[in-house]
Amino acid sequence: MNTTSISRIKAIAIDDEPSAIEVIEHFASKTPFVELLRNFNVVSEALTYIYNENVDVVFLDIQMPDMLGTDFAKLIQNRGIMVIFTTAHSQYAIEGYNLQVLDYLLKPIEYSRFLQACNRAYERLASNQKQESSIFVKDGHDWVRVNLNEVLYIQSDTNLLFIHEKDRKITTRMTVSEILNILPNDRFIRTHKSFIVSLKHIQKIERHQITVQNIAIPLAGSYKEVIENRLLKR
């Protein structure tokens, strides 16, 4: 399997609260494909750094004394840097959407949401560099790269996911909703409350099941029309 990809996401964090910076530092240290280059509590210093260094992602607070994070995001909007808002205030979500920020993490931030945002950044960066797309998931105590081209289907059992490839199975502690937030929705689709399949590996659609690599996957009626429309381009 070809595992060529970007090595690590280069990130900075901007927040005027030291405790918030500590959370981002801690989460980044737990995530092997994220390199937190610098932290800033003064926006102007962060802006100077961005204009002189290679930065992929900014973890950005919104309500700061010298400048709103939304205004800062506008300043760097044309530099190709992904912005992930980290804020205690939900009222900026629509503005964040209009600014096309990558993600919007509400404080107190949970590590699972941080990881979702980072995987999304990794996926976009890999796509921009025209490299084979992949994500990272935790299998036991190890971080495992999952090549999305190799995934046949994903099965859920409570808060465990079983990611099935042709020659291996990866087990990770996530929910279906969490993995759907990471996966590109033009390549994967839900067929059942407990199953997600790769569109490119679907061989047959029947009334109550889908066949993927000669494996029967349950198909719930509520998802059948959506899948048919996607595959048949109706």
Per-residue pLDDT in tens (0 to 9) along the chain, 234 residues: 233 446 789 999 999 999 999 999 999 999 999 999 999 999 999 999 998 888 999 999 999 998 999 999 999 987 889 999 999 999 988 998 889 999 999 999 999 999 999 999 998 887 766 545 788 998 888 899 998 989 999 999 988 999 999 889 999 999 988 898 888 877 899 999 999 999 889 988 888 999 998 899 999 988 888 888 777 754
In the numeric block, which tokens belong to residue 28? 């980044």
In the numeric block, which tokens belong to residue 193? 């409350």
Domain 146-232 sits in which CATH superfamily? LytTr DNA-binding domain (2.40.50.1020)
DSSP code for 36: E
Strand runs (DSSP E) across the chain, as ranges? 9-14, 34-40, 57-60, 82-87, 103-106, 134-139, 142-147, 151-157, 160-165, 169-172, 188-192, 195-198, 202-205, 209-212, 215-218
Burial degree of 168 (CB within 10 A; 0-12, 13-18, 19+):
exposed
- What local confidence, expressed as pLDDT, does residue 8 receive? 87
Residue ranges, comma separated, of all CATH 3.40.50.2300 domains in the chain are: 9-128
- What local confidence, expressed as pLDDT, does residue 182 receive? 84
Domain 9-128 sits in which CATH superfamily? Response regulator (3.40.50.2300)
User: Cα(78)–Cα(41) distance, rounded to whole angstroms?
Assistant: 23
Task: Confirm whether pTM is higher than 0.85.
Answer: no
Residue ranges, comma separated, of all CATH 2.40.50.1020 domains in the chain are: 146-232
User: Cα(105)–Cα(39) distance, rounded to whole angstroms?
Assistant: 17
Cis previous bond, 108, omega within 30 = yes
Using DSSP's 3-state secondary structure scheme, residue 17 falls into coil
- What local confidence, expressed as pLDDT, does residue 180 receive? 87
User: Cα(200)–Cα(171) distance, rounded to whole angstroms?
Assistant: 22
Q: By the 8 A CB rule, do 161 and 179 touch?
A: yes
Cα distances (angstroms) measured from residue 43 to each of 12, 40, 49, 67, 158: 12, 7, 10, 7, 42
